[in-house]
């Protein structure tokens, strides 16, 4: 495994729609492993492939502290409700902002073995999954957020910024 460099706001790769993964080969598995190591080094709760310079539809997240989720080609099937989240992003270091996210999402994705999975996430899980899936469409949270401000002492919930 290896640490990958996280690109930041202004990198054109963060604004592009990522391409589907056609085949889960060794390069994809290595990417997933590297993303996990990179995210954990930065104490993140989520990371998307374009943040490490790879324009593929892959992201990882901790919907709870105990479960690492690996999403390949995730698709939103349903969303319901609203909640306000206070978010940060490893690609926008030092800032947080308020974002309206769905309260519940239902998604379809492939795991690293290529198995198709349909699952629902609520509350924090819905926030982190939505934030990471936005990255795959070239969307940063700061485009949706209000009251973007310096993160300060990070006492608030901070997506990607603090586990
Ligand atoms: Ni992010």
- pLDDT averaged over every residue in the chain: 94
Residue labelled with tokens 């490490």: 52
- Ligand 1 mean position, distance from CA 22 (Å): 24
What is the pLDDT at residue 152?
A: 81
Beta-bridge partner residues of 105: 79, 121
- Ligand 1 mean position, distance from CA 73 (Å): 17
The catalytic residues are 132
- Ligand 1 mean position, distance from CA 56 (Å): 15
Please give the distance of CA 60 from its chain centroid, rounded to a whole number.
6
pLDDT tens digits for range 121-162: 999 999 999 999 999 999 999 999 999 999 986 555 556 754
Torsion sign across C-alpha atoms 67, 48, 27, 72: positive
CA angle, residues 18, 142, 109, in degrees to nearest 5: 35
Radius of gyration of the chain (CA): 14
Residue 117 in tokens? 């999975």
Residue 97 in tokens? 């902002």
- Ligand 1 mean position, distance from CA 89 (Å): 4
What is the pLDDT at residue 163?
A: 44
Which residues have CB under 8 Å from 139's CB, separation 6+? none
**The model's pTM:** 0.94
């Amino acid at each position: 495994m290896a640490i990958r460099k996280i690109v930041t706001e202004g990198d054109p790769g963060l604004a592009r729609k990522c391409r589907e993964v056609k085949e889960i080969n060794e390069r994809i598995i290595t990417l997933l492993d590297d993303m996990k190591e990179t995210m954990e080094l930065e104490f993140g709760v989520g990371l998307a492939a374009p943040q490490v310079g790879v324009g593929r539809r892959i992201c990882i997240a901790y919907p709870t502290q105990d479960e690492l989720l690996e999403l390949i080609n995730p698709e939103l099937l349903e969303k319901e409700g609203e909640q306000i989240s206070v978010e940060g992003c490893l690609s926008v270091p030092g800032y947080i902002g308020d974002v309206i996210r769905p309260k519940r999402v239902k998604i379809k994705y492939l795991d690293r073995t290529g198995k198709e999975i349909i699952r629902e996430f609520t509350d924090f899980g819905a926030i982190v999954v939505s934030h990471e899936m936005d990255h795959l469409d070239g969307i940063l949270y700061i485009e949706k957020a209000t009251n973007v401000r310096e993160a300060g002492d990070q006492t608030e919930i901070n997506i990607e910024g603090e586990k």
